[in-house]
């Protein structure tokens, strides 16, 4: 598969909201309080207010469900969502980001699919997001 770097996304989260054991697994919510993103075609900051709904599954994998709002350095707002899987036993952390924006300049984001390679750092998660060509 051909892909091209889209951005590196850094997220800052605050105290986890532990919902606990639900019928689907153990649900934790990581509220997003900020962050940044940087790529050749777009860069800016992550607005506070999104979150990652994280469910620990019975097979040891972790299912991610993230929503965040990105604000580019020239003022456009971009709605980002992704689902993904984290499997620490296999050092696997991959996501499938999708974007929505009303900005004509960034409308190309509405027309692409992407893959994120995640990594947990001491100061929060980092996602290297690549456009699927």
Partner 1 sequence: MNTRLLMMLRVKVGTPQNLGAVPLGTRRTAPLSGGSFEGARLRGTVVAGGSADWQVLRSDGVLEMDLRVTLQTDDGALISMRSFGLRHGPPEVIAAIGRGESVDPAAYYFRTTPRFVTAHPAYAFLNRIVAVATGDRRPEGPIYTVHEVL
Name the residues that contact partner 1, by CB under 8 A.
Answer: 1, 3, 59, 61, 83-85, 87, 90, 92, 94-96, 98, 107, 110-113, 115, 117, 130, 132
CB nearer to partner 1: pick between 16 and 113: 113
Alpha-carbon distances of 89 from 24, 57, 62, 93, rounded to whole Å: 20, 13, 11, 10
Query: Least distance from C-beta 96 to partner 1, angstroms?
Result: 4
Query: Least distance from C-beta 100 to partner 1, angstroms?
Result: 10
CB nearer to partner 1: pick between 17 and 119: 119
Query: Least distance from C-beta 60 to partner 1, angstroms?
Result: 9
């Amino acid at each position: 598969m051909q892909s091209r770097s889209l951005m590196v996304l850094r997220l800052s989260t605050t105290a986890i909201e532990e919902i606990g054991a639900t019928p689907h697994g153990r649900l934790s919510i990581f509220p997003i309080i900020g962050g940044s993103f940087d790529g050749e075609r777009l860069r800016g900051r992550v607005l506070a207010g999104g979150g990652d709904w994280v469910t620990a599954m019975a097979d040891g994998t972790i299912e991610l469900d993230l929503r965040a709002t990105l604000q580019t350095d020239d003022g456009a707002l971009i709605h980002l969502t992704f689902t993904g899987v984290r499997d620490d036993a296999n050092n696997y952390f991959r996501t499938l980001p999708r974007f929505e924006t009303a900005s004509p300049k960034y409308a190309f984001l509405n027309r692409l699919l992407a893959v994120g390679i995640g990594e947990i750092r001491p100061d929060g998660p980092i996602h290297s997001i690549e456009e699927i060509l």
